Amino acid sequence: MNETRGKTVNVMPQGNVIIRFNKVSFEYGNKPILNEADFSVREGSKITLMGQNGAGKSTIFQLIAGNLKPEMGAISVTKGLTMATARQVIQRDEAELTVQEFFEKAFDMKIYDIEPRIKKVLGVVHLVVPHDKVLKDLSGGQQARVLLAQALIQNPDILLLDEPTNNLDKQGIAHLTQFLKDYNKTCIVISHDADFLNSFTHGVLYLDVFTKKIEQYAGDYLKVVEEIKARLERERMKNVRLEKDIQHRKDQAGFFAQKGGHMRDVARKMKEKIEELEGDIVEVRREDKAIRNFVIPCQAGLVGQILELKSVSIMNLGTHKPITKKVEVVLKRKERLLLSGPNGIGKTTLLEKLASGHAKGEHVAHGVHIGYYRQDFSTLDFEETVYGTLANAMKDGTEQELRSCAAGFLLDSDILKAKIGSLSEGQKGLVAFAKLSLERPGLLILDEPTNHINFRHIPVIAQALDRYEGAMILVSHVPEFVKQIRIDYTLDLESL
């Protein structure tokens, strides 16, 4: 890093090119992801991969890793270099593995000193958990750290990180940031956390969901984002000028066409020019659209107390054993509770019990419908289509209303036909919010609702939650998001 006028600047390393895409084209199913895409990555560089939810960023990781093959073009990765990917979520077929089994799975051969190596790498991600603990029993934040640690334990030459800050608390993000600053190998990161990215990024690979090309930029993350915004504004202004010119020429061509004779030839040539100009219009980039403003309607007829919480079970982070603490929480209509505490203390477990009615010290009023946003999207049926999911959630309404709701969340007709399991994590999040808006809950339970969500959508979601008129329990490690929502009470599990 260099210091320029008192500001830290991330300088791109000048090492050899170790990853190169040469006119790579690829389709996933029948969906085009890349069309003759070109880019290169130099040794030792730290690169951000940007693009809309569902554009294909995680697919590019699989292409780099060799798990997928291009249909056209060539991908070259320097021979002899090792590679590891830290994925976004624990796969369903891995949920029953223990922590140690999960780390052992990272290696092709038996590692005899695996236990001290696990202990060391868990220290890097600031996590202490028993090695025989089953992955599904870890909190979302603990799972995120284990996913990251499994990649780090391999000490790869090329590290691919897919949304590594999801589910991490402030302390966890700080540890990861410092690790990446000190990491002297190559790293490519997918993330929506601007401050995190700006602290170490040398450049950006920008996947344009419209052209299916990859644009390459050098410079820190925030500088590149501004550069992209400026270019898009230039394209928009060009469109405005072209559209005015086209309309003027259309008016003239229509006038000349009515005159007959030689003037008809003039009109014909003008129409040819109009078609040429229309071809120069740049389509507004779909990845720069935010979801529409939306509301989550509240269940009708709610009066009085909706939720009473008299005790909670929390995890002692030293002994890893649960303990019960007395609390006094009552929520009525329009009242919101922020549930806070470090990763692993039991926030997600408490929310699960509240949603299922299995919490011992809680009482939800009879007839209250609960809308539950789970951070792992397990409330969604991965084998169901998006259309089927929304149709099942809709209390009443027409086909047109369902499709209008879906369109507001950027869920087009092709996505509506797709199975939930085939979507990106960000698209699953948008489906979950569309589902909530159709369910009309009286009690809304939200567990890290900004995970995987494009940063452009977050203010819209915050506004919808702030306007929600039922009772709400929120868990979020994103202070900027929480600040946009009125909170009436805070329950800090660590302070009990």
Using a pLDDT cut of 90, give the percent of the chain over it: 50
Mean pLDDT of 353-362: 85
* Nearest C-alpha neighbor of 208 from the set 292, 293, 291, 282: 282
* Predicted pLDDT of residue 227: 80
* Predicted pLDDT of residue 25: 96
pLDDT at 7 over 50: no
Interatomic CA distance for residues 59 and 40, integer angstroms: 17
Q: Which residues contact 299 (CB under 8 A, 6 or more apart)?
A: 368, 369, 440, 441, 442, 470
Q: Which residue has the higher pLDDT, 81 or 7?
A: 81
* Predicted pLDDT of residue 1: 41
CA–chain centroid gap for 54, Å, is: 9
* Predicted pLDDT of residue 165: 83
* Predicted pLDDT of residue 280: 60
Range with lowest mean pLDDT among 174-188, 237-251, 258-272, 452-466: 258-272
Cα distances (angstroms) measured from residue 418 to each of 62, 97, 382, 400, 426: 20, 29, 10, 19, 14
Q: Which residue has the higher pLDDT, 122 or 278?
A: 122
pLDDT at 64 over 90: yes
Chain segment 273-293, per-residue pLDDT in tens: 767 666 665 555 544 567 899
Q: pLDDT class for 138, splitting at 50, 70, 90? A: confident
Chain segment 431-449, per-residue pLDDT in tens: 999 999 999 999 999 999 9
* Predicted pLDDT of residue 51: 82
Using a pLDDT cut of 70, give the percent of the chain over it: 93
pLDDT at 208 over 80: yes
Q: pLDDT class for 5, splitting at 50, 70, 90? A: very low
Rg for the chain, CA atoms, rounded: 26
Range with lowest mean pLDDT among 47-51, 72-76, 135-139, 250-254: 250-254
Range with lowest mean pLDDT among 207-211, 216-220, 261-265, 295-299: 261-265
Cα distances (angstroms) measured from residue 232 to each of 204, 207, 283, 384, 409: 16, 14, 10, 37, 22
Mean pLDDT of 313-342: 90
* Predicted pLDDT of residue 139: 83
* Predicted pLDDT of residue 234: 81
pLDDT at 8 over 80: no
Average pLDDT of the chain to the nearest whole number: 87
Q: Which residue has the higher pLDDT, 286 or 428?
A: 428
pLDDT at 219 over 50: yes
pLDDT at 226 over 60: yes
Mean pLDDT of 370-377: 92
Interatomic CA distance for residues 407 and 403, integer angstroms: 6
Would you report the helix, strand and coil content of the chain in percent, each value rounded to 5?
40, 25, 40
Q: pLDDT class for 324, splitting at 50, 70, 90? A: very high
Q: Are 433 and 451 in contact (CB under 8 A)?
A: no
Q: Which residue has the higher pLDDT, 164 or 371?
A: 371
Q: Are strands 362-364 and 305-316 parallel, antiparallel or unpaired?
A: antiparallel
* Predicted pLDDT of residue 490: 96
Range with lowest mean pLDDT among 234-238, 253-257, 362-366: 253-257
CA–chain centroid gap for 168, Å, is: 14
Chain segment 83-117, per-residue pLDDT in tens: 999 988 888 889 899 999 999 999 988 888 999 99
Q: Which residue has the higher pLDDT, 285 or 140?
A: 140
Q: What is the DSSP string of 233-279?
A: HHHHHHHHHHHHHHHHHHHHHHHHHTT-THHHHHHHHHHHHHHHHHH
pLDDT at 184 over 60: yes
Mean pLDDT of 382-394: 95
Range with lowest mean pLDDT among 101-105, 168-172, 351-355: 168-172
